Structure 1
Amino acid sequence: MAESDLRILANPNDPSGAGLPSQGTGYDHDSLGLFQQRRSWGSAVQRMSATESTTLFVDALLTIPNWAGQPPWRAAQLVQKSAFDGRPTSANGYSAEVGENYLRQTDRAAGVLAVVERDASRLDCGASDVMPRGDSASHGLPEGYALPPDTSQQAATAIAFALAQLGKPYLWGGTGPDQFDCSGLTQAAWQRAGIPIGRTTWDQLRDGAPTIEAALVPGDLVLIPGSQGSLAAPGHMGMYLGHGLVIHAPRTGDVVKVTTLSAFTTSGVSGLRHIG
């Protein structure tokens, strides 16, 4: 809020960001994006992406000893290194408060956070309304299901983990062990197999290698628009099990379950990724 008023800002002083989507223009040195990050932070694409720039900020925050013990405005100052460093100068309006520019935003930030936390109780991965097959006790997994015989050992491990989560409740942002969201389930499954992948649907859209539906093998990731995403920016995902089946964590109020690939992809396919 202090840096950009929550807008992705372009900057004529850094033409590399000129062709990227923006919500306004800033003029502070060569700063770009939500956090007004300068060239040393990363590429223009990274700084002009809400997801990537936030990752850059959080990565820097986590390197600060005892960052969680700091007041938020001081922690922000330690990352951003603004002119509000506690030494009164004309650049900071002669403020002696470390991070005062961020301190001023505390009430607004608390209001936004309250909305986010309230909405988190009902947000989901944007799963489409797809019907599982099989009875309710099996959560859609057909009786007699078995992995195709040529499944790799790592994929078999990942799938075994995923299937062990059947019936566990959906939680937006959940990464287990008792609740999962869609990408949290697939990440945890592949972690069990010893292969790290990204945390979010957007991250996992770029993990592994692209594949096609005709070449899908068990363990591959299937990314779809869901109810709130698009073909370019998937809002939901699952893991292919073979035999035309997908396991996924659908939405708040639902549980980890199995559905058919054809039902899962009725809204289109955003990406298919081979992991391992």
Structure 2
Amino acid sequence: MKIAVLVAVLVAAVFAAVLTSNVVTKVVTDQQAAAGGIAPAACDAAIGPTQPGQPAQGGSDASQLDQESRNTVSLIISIGKQRSLAPRAWQVAIQAGMTESRLHNVHYGDRDSLGIFQMRPSMNWGSAAQVTDPNYAINKFYDVLLAVQDWQNMRPGDAAQQVERSGFPDRYHRWEAMAASLVQNLGQIADVVGCGQGVGAALPPSQAAAQAIKFALAEQGKPYVWGATGPDSFDCSGLMLRAYESAGVILPRVSRDQYKAGAMLPVREAQPGDLVFLATDPADPSTIHHVAMYLGGGKIVEAQQTGVPVHVRPFSFDEREVVPQAVRPGV
């Protein structure tokens, strides 16, 4: 018993030391290959609605986990490695477990929901004994995740929602930074979010932004078609989607979701490549109806409306429908 206690104390100490360190462990590429042969997905892996992609916040959240939660994280990563799953899968599972149970193997929940992921025996997740067995629950979560089409290219929180089918789909984004920190440090995966050492809105324009601008400008003259994502025509969000896709950054399909897909900053501080939004009520993001790319110097490139081809036009931050936040994708 004393030996077991000592081991637990040592594990906890190592865990805390790793999480509180400012040193990012760099791991060679073959370690990533051993974890699934898939390079880390686009850097929106650590982006959430209120900039939780800042590394310091993720490390801070992770350092506050209790011992049971830490053990669950270690098991999620261990099983993920055993199954040769990509690090993105580990992150999805960590975010889902943290949201559903704070990574605890609980024996209660809404209706008959049980365990780390609040799986329901009545919904064919397994028996009560099975869904409260951490090994079973984690493997079952991975099984369902792998059946989700294109899950690798979703935000981790969106992929978690596809598995959990929650009535509150946005809540899984809350733990993106923490999950990325855990995967990077405990899983020994270098730069899991693919963003280098980003600092959110403080970043200057990036190479990704430069490439996105280059792409968007090259599409000038192509017609606006609602719902189009190229290559021969675009709508507003379709143009932004393809522009940043050309730079290796994955954006959601529609403008209201693109508003949540990057570091937010005051619109008057927008830099070239940042996305600016128009809304019926600028104070209510649910009324966003248009997105464009800021070019600097009071200009934007956009796919505006039917009958108007992709073009560059003058832009003022004082336009009546301008949303007060801009978004920097890939940060």
TM superposition score normalised by structure 2: 0.38
User: Which structure is higher in helix share?
Assistant: 2
Task: Name which structure has the greater RCO, CA cutoff 8 Å, separation 6+.
Answer: 2
